[in-house]
């Protein structure tokens, strides 16, 4: 049972010395990065790797609901929370309806609070507000159900402000569980502008996570709210099983080390990893920092004991674990019915054939980072923008969300058949193509920006562009032998380059694209892909010989 904060100060009542019965047990049940996966995800996206290396099928809204209810039944006082990316980059059964089915599911699940992830901004701040507060989509209306009433839980963001400094989202909420107030702080990644199109977050700013958490924690301290947790949409990379702590010491760990000692647990997200760590706060006291993969495959569970006298968490008694959302339980009937409703309503569009392939088109790149699917998508975007004088097309690997597989899917459409739903899953962001003019020097700089101190992102390129890179050369000097249509690139010459609006705005750190001039608009990336399949099917996997890597 839970109730929401009213404006008040929570003073601890006077009491005798603490006895064992003078604590309240509270269970926090959290998931992250659901991305609208109502149906059980397939392939590796639907499996959890355990500590011994074995895998188990996991995920699916109806199974998730069953596991949540079981966990709630074990502890009288429980809160269900989300660490963000509930929506966005979703399968077609949710995305076709602007993720309204997913929000309806989360409402039914009893989610009490969520932080915003980067994908909550995919369709812009105004759409995020509609998802939060309800109302039909301004263009498509209410297609899933006759009415859409919005999320019955707050979407938090303590470090999200308008460019005038005013808060754009609630920084925190307070929930009562077992009579105890629990402060819930939301913070999303500071570098969100690098992974969301510039138009989607125009007028917004994203501040330092630690500064925002500590400022908000101070407010809660002054309100007398001693039990505090953070929903953090930022993560580390990791290895190991669900309850191992083999993290790389990345952003989540660094934020955890700096976040106020008043915070008793941190639920992490964004990196789609699994870990269960104890990281010391600035006062030297360990606290859980935990993440549960993605797509509803794990539930991160933190059990707190709250002192009834001080209303603070007895930190030494905190227990955390990641619970696998196995599929060996009875699916929750209400959740299963909602999923079936969404799937059934999406089927007429999702199952429409748009083309065919002769073999698998994979999103993952080979040694050079070039992928067969990336090649096809870039070629499709080049063809779709030819009227703009495009000579080259370049797309970001993060925008390619799935493979096209030759084998028939469970829908039974037949080997080699490509459906609208499959294409939507591959390109779900509705990014708009733009053609810009870059110099040869700009183009070289773009390609060099694929390597940074924090990692490598290999752009996918059309068949008109070829280059070589040295794996051992220093960052900034890796690329050579760039050609366009077989002719070496002249640093002073100009070239018409098609990219999506995310890259055009400098997304993923490719800031050189923002120097482009003479912008001309084009179609949505998904429409470009569908048109290409219509014109060229069956499509064979390309040779993936556009990028050459040398030692």
Which domains does the chain carry?
26-339 (3.60.21.10), 353-550 (3.90.780.10)
Q: In angstroms, rounded to a whole number, what is the distance separating the alpha carbons of residues 187 and 172?
A: 9
Among 155, 154, 179, 173, smallest CA distance to 1 is for: 179
Return the HEC string of 358-412: CCCECCCCCCCCCCHHHHHHHHHHHHHCHHHCCCEEEECHHHCCCCECCCCCCCC
Q: In angstroms, rounded to a whole number, what is the distance separating the alpha carbons of residues 458 and 186?
A: 32
CB 417 within 8 A of CB 353: yes
Token code pair at residue 302: 């933190």
Token code pair at residue 18: 């603490």
Token code pair at residue 358: 């002769």
Phi, psi of 192 (to 5 degrees): -55, -40
Q: Per 3-state DSSP, what percentage of the chain is helix, strand, and coil (rounded to 5)?
A: 30, 30, 40
User: What's the whole-model pTM score?
Assistant: 0.88
Among 431, 427, 438, 432, smallest CA distance to 391 is for: 438
pLDDT in tens, the chain (551 residues): 344 433 344 444 444 444 556 999 999 999 999 999 999 998 899 999 999 999 999 999 999 999 999 999 999 999 999 999 999 999 999 999 999 999 999 999 999 999 999 999 999 999 999 999 999 999 999 999 999 999 999 999 999 999 999 999 999 999 999 999 999 999 999 999 999 998 999 999 999 999 999 999 999 999 999 999 999 999 999 999 999 999 999 999 999 999 999 999 999 999 999 999 999 999 999 999 999 999 999 999 999 999 999 999 999 999 999 999 999 999 999 999 999 999 999 999 999 999 999 999 999 999 999 999 999 999 999 999 999 999 999 999 999 999 999 998 877 789 999 999 999 999 999 899 999 999 999 999 999 999 999 899 999 999 999 999 999 999 999 999 999 999 999 999 999 999 999 999 999 999 999 999 999 999 999 999 999 999 999 999 999 999 999 99
Q: Which residues of 24-46 are buried (b: 16+ CB within 10 A; e: fewer)?
A: bbbbbbbbbbbbbbbbbbbeebb
Whole-angstrom Cα Rg for the chain: 24
Q: In angstroms, rounded to a whole number, what is the distance separating the alpha carbons of residues 37 and 199?
A: 26
Q: In angstroms, rounded to a whole number, what is the distance separating the alpha carbons of residues 127 and 197?
A: 14
CB 362 within 8 A of CB 400: no
């Amino acid at each position: 049972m839970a109730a929401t904060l009213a404006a008040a100060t929570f003073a601890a009542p006077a009491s005798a010395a603490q006895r064992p019965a003078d604590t309240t047990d509270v269970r926090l049940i959290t998931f992250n990065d659901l991305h609208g996966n109502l149906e059980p995800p397939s392939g590796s996206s639907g499996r959890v790797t355990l500590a011994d290396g074995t895998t188990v099928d996991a995920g699916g809204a109806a199974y998730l609901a069953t596991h949540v209810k079981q966990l709630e039944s074990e502890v009288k006082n429980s809160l269900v929370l989300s660490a963000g990316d509930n929506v966005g980059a979703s399968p077609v059964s949710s995305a076709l309806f602007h993720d309204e089915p997913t929000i309806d599911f989360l409402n039914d699940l009893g989610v009490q609070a969520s932080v915003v992830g980067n994908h909550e901004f995919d369709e812009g701040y105004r759409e995020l507000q509609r998802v939060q507060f309800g109302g039909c989509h301004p263009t498509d209306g209410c297609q899933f159900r006759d009415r859409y009433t919005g999320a019955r839980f707050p979407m938090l963001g303590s470090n999200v402000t308008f460019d005038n400094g005013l808060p754009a989202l609630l920084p925190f909420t307070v929930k009562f569980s077992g009579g105890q107030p629990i402060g819930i702080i939301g913070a999303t990644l500071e570098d969100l502008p690098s992974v969301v199109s510039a138009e989607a977050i125009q007028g917004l700013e994203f501040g330092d996570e630690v500064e925002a958490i500590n400022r908000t924690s101070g407010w809660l301290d002054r309100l007398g709210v001693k039990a505090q947790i953070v929903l953090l949409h930022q993560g580390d990379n990791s290895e190991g099983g669900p309850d191992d702590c083999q993290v790389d010491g990345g952003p989540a760990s660094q934020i955890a080390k700096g976040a106020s000692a008043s915070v008793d647990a941190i639920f992490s997200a964004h990196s789609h990893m699994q870990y269960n760590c104890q990281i010391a706060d600035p006062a030297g006291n360990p606290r859980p920092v935990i993440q549960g993969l993605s797509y509803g495959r794990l539930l991160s569970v933190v059990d707190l004991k709250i002192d009834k006298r001080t209303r603070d968490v007895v930190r030494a008694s905190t227990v955390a674990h990641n619970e696998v959302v196995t599929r060996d339980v009875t699916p929750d009937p209400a959740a299963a019915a909602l999923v079936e409703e969404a799937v059934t309503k999406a089927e007429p569009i999702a199952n429409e054939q748009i083309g065919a392939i002769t073999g698998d088109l994979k999103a993952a790149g080979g040694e050079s980072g070039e992928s067969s699917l990336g090649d096809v998508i870039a070629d499709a975007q080049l063809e779709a923008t030819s009227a703009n004088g495009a000579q080259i097309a370049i797309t970001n690997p993060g925008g390619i969300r799935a493979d096209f597989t030759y084998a028939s899917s469970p829908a039974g459409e037949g080997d080699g058949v490509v459906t609208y739903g499959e294409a939507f899953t591959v390109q779900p962001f509705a990014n708009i193509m733009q053609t810009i003019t870059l110099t040869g020097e700009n183009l070289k700089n773009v390609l060099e920006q694929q390597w940074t101190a924090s990692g490598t992102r290999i752009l996918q390129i059309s068949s008109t562009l070829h280059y070589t890179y040295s794996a051992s050369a220093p960052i900034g000097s890796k690329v050579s032998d760039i050609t366009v249509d077989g002719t070496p690139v002249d640093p002073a010459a100009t070239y018409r380059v098609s990219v999506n609006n995310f890259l055009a705005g400098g997304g993923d750190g490719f800031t050189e694209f923002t120097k482009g001039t003479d912008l001309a608009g084009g179609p949505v990336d998904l429409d470009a892909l569908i048109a290409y399949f219509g014109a060229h099917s069956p499509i064979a996997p390309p040779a993936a010989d556009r990028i050459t890597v040398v030692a």
